[in-house]
Amino acid sequence: MRFDGDTVLALDGVSGLKRHQPLTVSMRLYSPERKQRSLIMHTGPGLYALASDASGFELLLEDGKLRWSAIFLWPGCCASIETRDDFPIGRWVDVTVTYDGSSRADGLRIYLDGRPVETNLLYDSLDKEIVADTMRLAARPRDDRGFAGGAIDEIRLFRSRLSAIEVAALHESTALGIASDEAPDAAQRLFAERLERARRGDRNTRDELREHFLERVDSPAIAARAATSAALRHLEDDFLHRFPTMMTMRQSPRPRPFYVLARGSYDAPILSQPVEPSAPEALLPFDPAWSRDRLGLARWLTDRRQPLVSRVAVNRIWMQCFGRGLVETQENFGSQGDPPSHPELLDDLAYRLMDEGWSQKRLMRSIVTSATFRRTSSVSPSVRQIDPDNRLLARGPTYRLSGEAIRDAALAASGLLVERVGGPSVKPWQPAGLWSEAGVSGGDYVPDTGAAAHRRSLYTYRKRTAPPPSLVTLDAGSREVCQPRRLATNTPLQPLVFLNDQGFFECARALAERVGRESDGSVDQAIELAFLAVTSRPADPYEHRTLRELFDEQSARFDADRAAATAVAGRDDPQAAAMTIVCSTLLASDAAITVR
């Protein structure tokens, strides 16, 4: 059967091929030309967009060579080998690939025309179960290259690993009783020839006979091999797989060559101008003692002679404390960015950060305990006219908290915040149907309940195509693109989030119940406690009087409408409902969301 490179031949009856099961696949292949990349067979997912999508067993031509692999995740978790020599072109070739179920690369073998060929080891790190989908031939939509112009014939599959002698017999006479009644006689004749060759001292033939004897004839050896394989499967599947897995990076033993690109075009490398890994010499020459890899780059970045990384880290922490960095354009420290307002201070803090072992806690402590940070935020008209943006740090910081910090502060004030560290992401409340309207696959958003709904915003589940709406309203961004600096906005939608979002309403109700318990029934004391919990300072007389008037007004309203009181407080208690409205107002107030 000839293929056009796009058509997929699915063998619907062939599926469920897993890494603990031995396998032999034999076929005749015809390749009209040297293939840069061409898929022959795979048992992974039907769609393919990039190399990491590959999984399952895979046979392909890559850079002219035949590659045979068992893949969980390419290239970090797979076993793979390829032929040392190019695959023959312009003629039919009997190809047989075998796998012994060991999850190791030395369990993979390639035979051409019945003979084992020399191979190179590519990867040997398979320790996870592979995809066991339907076997497909000649193509893999969407973005992989199929076997264009090639042909496949006489494909055979065995759920066992054939020995070298059996592969030779399969090639020479379609042995093992598959295609002809004469096959057993041909196999016996081939075995006799191999035996005679071994008697004459052929070492390779002796090894083939020994392997065949241990795998097909010697019953104790077969039983011991099966017991060992079962024990290994038990160890991996019932013990090792229970440990959590974390993806890491490592230096490739065969790094790709890189070249200068003509006019920056990725598909136009200038092969006469190779480039090596290095760093900008203008900042700091790369020390010859450093390795040209990620470790060397890390040493270059953190070297004391080049404090750029430390300056950036200090600037970001300064921004968290003061609302703007010493370099306001924290996304750009280059010539196109703003110069630092206090360059000596930036350098002093940068070197202090390096001298103190890159301890961000120490740096944060030194900033928030400084006289500069503890200054009052109040400002006279004359000072505001001279320094409206507080670039000269004549007063304390004034800025709106981030969306995550506002939500976490509300949870903390109400007593609902779950302070457990670590664990999976959680899904706090958001309006129903947003994921469906955004066309998100995998079903609609199902919010968590109980403690999971009250964890820090750090653990909130994020989907870039449908981010949490309340956080986006508060300038958190969708994370579809990098956002090194958030620009705070003030829009009418933001107070509506504080007043109407179910998460903030739960905080208001919980805070009302908390201050009600702690105030012994005193409304004035409850207002003082709520204000202190939300703003971290006592209310002044005007603020207290205004909140008390709001409480009295709402209490009278709920006395007249008990159903509304029940809807707000969760029980028929007008005073609890009124205090919930007071707490909701507090959480939406400028004093709660602004640092001063």
Q: What is the 3-state secondary structure (H, E, C) of 561-594?
A: CHHHHHHHHCCCCHHHHHHHHHHHHHHCCHHHHE
The answer on 169 and 158 residing in a single domain is no
CA angle 152, 154, 160 (to 5 degrees): 110
Helix-then-strand count for the chain, H and E:
19, 16
Q: Is the model's pLDDT at 31 over the cut of 90?
A: yes
If pLDDT is split at 50, 70 and 90, which confidence band does 176 have?
very low
If pLDDT is split at 50, 70 and 90, which confidence band does 185 have?
low
d(CA 503, CA 494): 14
Q: Which of 145, 162, 179 is the last residue of a domain?
A: 162
For the ranges 168-182, 235-249, 456-470, 494-508, the lowest mean pLDDT is seen at 168-182
d(CA 424, CA 462): 12
Backbone angles phi, psi at 271, to 5 degrees: -65, -20
d(CA 129, CA 125): 12
If pLDDT is split at 50, 70 and 90, which confidence band does 143 have?
low
Averaged pLDDT, 50-71: 88
Is the Cβ–Cβ distance between 5 and 147 less than 8 Å? yes
d(CA 391, CA 521): 47
CA angle 410, 413, 415 (to 5 degrees): 105
pLDDT at 556: 93
If pLDDT is split at 50, 70 and 90, which confidence band does 4 have?
confident
Q: Is the model's pLDDT at 444 over the cut of 70?
A: yes
Backbone angles phi, psi at 228, to 5 degrees: -65, -45
Query: Is 261 inside a domain boundary?
Result: no
Is the Cβ–Cβ distance between 350 and 368 less than 8 Å? no
Amino acid at residue number 264:
G
d(CA 61, CA 83): 10
Enter the pTM of the model: 0.65
The answer on 153 and 219 residing in a single domain is no
Is the Cβ–Cβ distance between 454 and 417 less than 8 Å? yes
CA angle 257, 262, 267 (to 5 degrees): 60
Nearest to 531 by CA among 456, 585, 494: 585
CA angle 409, 413, 414 (to 5 degrees): 120
Beta carbons within 8 Å of 549's beta carbon, 6+ residues apart: none
Three-state helix/strand/coil letters over 343-388:
HHHHHHHHHHHHHCCCCHHHHHHHHHCCCCCCCCCCCCHHHHHHCC
H or E, element range at 295: helix 294-301
If pLDDT is split at 50, 70 and 90, which confidence band does 184 have?
low
pLDDT at 160: 85
The answer on 328 and 389 residing in a single domain is yes
Averaged pLDDT, 224-245: 72
pLDDT at 395: 87
Half-sphere exposure of 346 (CA within 13 A, CB side): 21
Q: Is the model's pLDDT at 596 over the cut of 60?
A: yes
The answer on 143 and 169 residing in a single domain is no
What SS3 class is residue 393? coil
Nearest to 70 by CA among 44, 96, 36, 49: 44
Amino acid at residue number 339:
P
Q: Is the model's pLDDT at 272 over the cut of 80?
A: yes
If pLDDT is split at 50, 70 and 90, which confidence band does 230 have?
confident
Q: Is the model's pLDDT at 175 over the cut of 50?
A: no
Averaged pLDDT, 222-233: 75
Query: Is 269 inside a domain boundary?
Result: no
The answer on 337 and 223 residing in a single domain is no
The answer on 145 and 193 residing in a single domain is no
What SS3 class is residue 278? coil
Amino acid at residue number 286:
F
What SS3 class is residue 93? strand
pLDDT digits (tens, 9 = 90+) for 484-525: 888 888 888 988 988 999 999 999 999 999 999 998 888 999
Q: What is the mean pLDDT of the chain?
A: 86
The token pair that represents 65 in the structure block:
């060579």
The answer on 188 and 316 residing in a single domain is no
d(CA 343, CA 314): 12
Averaged pLDDT, 405-432: 91
Query: Is 264 inside a domain boundary?
Result: no
Is the Cβ–Cβ distance between 78 and 71 less than 8 Å? yes
The token pair that represents 294 in the structure block:
């990620």
Q: Is the model's pLDDT at 182 over the cut of 60?
A: no
CA angle 202, 203, 209 (to 5 degrees): 95
If pLDDT is split at 50, 70 and 90, which confidence band does 189 have?
low
Averaged pLDDT, 573-586: 93
The answer on 224 and 181 residing in a single domain is yes
Return the residue matching tokens 């603990």.
Answer: 20
The answer on 540 and 424 residing in a single domain is yes
Half-sphere exposure of 353 (CA within 13 A, CB side): 26
pLDDT at 465: 85
Q: Which of 397, 414, 449 is the last residue of a domain?
A: 397
H or E, element range at 515: helix 502-518
Please list, residue by residue across 41-61, b when 16 or more beta carbons sit within 10 angstroms of its beta carbon and e when fewer do.
bbbbeeebeeeebbbbbbbbb
H or E, element range at 403: helix 403-414
**DSSP assignment of 21-78:** S-EEEEEEEE-SS--SEEEEEE-S-S--SSGGG--EEEEEEETTEEEEEEEEETTTEE
Neighbours of 141 (CB within 10 A): 13
C-alpha torsion 549→551→557→562, nearest 10: -170
**208: containing domain:** 164-241
The answer on 206 and 143 residing in a single domain is no
Please list, residue by residue across 219-256, b when 16 or more beta carbons sit within 10 angstroms of its beta carbon and e when fewer do.
eeeeeeeeeebeeebeebeeeeeeeeeeeeeeeeeeee
Q: Is the model's pLDDT at 302 over the cut of 70?
A: yes
572 versus 49: which is more confidently predicted? 572
Structural domains counted in the chain: 4
Query: Is 115 inside a domain boundary?
Result: yes
Any idea what the CATH number is for the domain that residue 114 is in? Answer: 2.60.120.200
Averaged pLDDT, 538-549: 93
pLDDT at 187: 58
Query: Is 62 inside a domain boundary?
Result: yes
Is the Cβ–Cβ distance between 138 and 40 less than 8 Å? yes
**Cα 438 → chain centroid:** 22
pLDDT at 179: 47
Query: Is 371 inside a domain boundary?
Result: yes
The answer on 168 and 155 residing in a single domain is no
pLDDT digits (tens, 9 = 90+) for 102-127: 888 989 999 998 889 999 999 998 88
Query: Is 247 inside a domain boundary?
Result: no
Averaged pLDDT, 437-462: 86
d(CA 340, CA 334): 11
The answer on 44 and 16 residing in a single domain is yes
Give burial (CB, 10 Å; 0-12/13-18/19+) of 544. Answer: middle
User: Beta partners for 108?
Assistant: 99
Averaged pLDDT, 130-150: 83
Q: Which of 136, 162, 188 is the last residue of a domain?
A: 162
The token pair that represents 543 in the structure block:
């603020």
pLDDT at 455: 92
Query: Is 271 inside a domain boundary?
Result: no
